[in-house]
Amino acid sequence: FTVEIHAELAEEGRRRLEAAGYGNIQYKVGDGAQGWPEHAPFDRITVAAAPELIPPALLQQLRPGGRMILPSGLPDQQQLMVVDKDPGGRVTTREIMPVVFSPLVSSH
């Protein structure tokens, strides 16, 4: 599953992934910070743009026992984060390294 807020980028991504042989991906044009609740929960979530804070909707859509990897923070203070949700639903985060990603564009 992949969510992209810009329709033209979503279409370009679809073309490139299909050309590379990936035919089992579902695409949605929408707000990535809101995830794709209709298909949740997810075992793994990877975010390729940086929200200032970890989006609550993505935390809710992460399955107990799941892991999310994302950049997060202000543009000049971003960290690559690993977010784990244990089987009981408790969330822990850890910073891996400083990074610079494009900001996550969200309607919220």
Helices (H), the chain: 7-19, 56-61
**In this structure, are 5 and 35 located in the same domain?**
no
User: Can you tell me the distance from the alpha carbon of 63 to that of 82, in angstroms, rounded to the nearest whole number?
Assistant: 14
What is the number of domains present in the chain? 2
Q: How confident is the model over 14-49, as pLDDT tens digits? A: 999 999 999 999 999 999 999 999 999 999 999 999
**Whole-prediction pTM value?**
0.91
Range of the structural domain that residue 62 is part of? 31-108
**In this structure, are 62 and 16 located in the same domain?**
no
* Backbone phi, psi, residue 30, to 5°: 180, -175
The pLDDT value recorded for residue 85 is 99
**In this structure, are 74 and 36 located in the same domain?**
yes
CATH code of 93's domain = 3.40.50.150
**In this structure, are 5 and 56 located in the same domain?**
no
User: Cα(first)–Cα(last) distance of the chain, in Å?
Assistant: 21
Q: How confident is the model over 47-99, as pLDDT tens digits? A: 999 999 999 999 999 999 999 999 999 999 999 999 999 999 999 999 999 99
